[in-house]
Amino acid sequence: MTSSSSQPSPSSQPSPAPRPSPATPPARPAEAQAPVLQINLNSPVPPYEQLREQIAGLIATSELRPGNRLPPVRQLAADLGLAGGTVARAYRELEQAGLIEGRGRHGTVVRDAAAGSSQDESRRQQLIAAAANLAKTARELGFSDEAALAAARGALARAATGSAG
């Protein structure tokens, strides 16, 4: 192996900072700043999954609302320093989950998934409160974001299989 490899091995170089990218392209100066996406190339979680989780989270917390356009695959891949196929896979999984919709030449947008019901909004607010509690507890105990996310993923996996804590 030569040292001119485009991906340094994690053991030979210090960890690069996560690569940020806006989740939506800036449309007008009067609009709020776009959410920032970050990919940690040293994480055990694949980049497409990090991207999928972040976009799904932004949709779940209404930071990305129905009708918001996502950046084109090529643009987001270039912004994050990822391969286009990585971003395409994240978008494909989000579309399969019913969160976004590809509209060909009109771009990819957040779907309007009957978010109008007050019961859905109440449940969303409960989820946001639980996530805030997890974040607060993780900080108080001195855990990293990755450790908190791993704990949440483990709890979700156990809940899906019906296993106890």
**pLDDT tens, per residue, the chain with 165 residues:** 433 334 444 444 555 555 555 554 444 444 455 678 999 999 999 999 999 999 999 998 889 999 999 999 999 999 999 999 999 999 999 999 889 999 888 899 999 865 445 566 677 788 888 888 999 999 999 999 888 888 888 888 787 777 655
Residue 53 CB contacts under 8 Å (≥ 6 apart), including other chains: 45, 149
How do strand 19-22 and strand 36-39 relate by DSSP bridges?
Answer: antiparallel
Q: What is the pLDDT of residue 114?
A: 52
**Which domains does the chain possess?**
34-113 (1.10.10.10), 116-159 (no CATH)
Q: What is the pLDDT of residue 4?
A: 39
Residues 6-13: contacts with CB under 8 Å, at least 24 apart: 7/41, 10/42
Q: What is the pLDDT of residue 33?
A: 59
Tokens 């690069």 sit at which residue?
A: 16
Q: What is the pLDDT of residue 141?
A: 95
Whole-angstrom distance, CA of residue 12 vs CA of residue 54: 28
Q: What is the pLDDT of residue 6?
A: 40
pTM value is 0.56
Residue whose C-alpha is closest to residue 75's, from 23, 19, 40, 7: 23
Per DSSP, what are the bridge partners of residue 7? Answer: none
Q: What is the pLDDT of residue 109?
A: 94
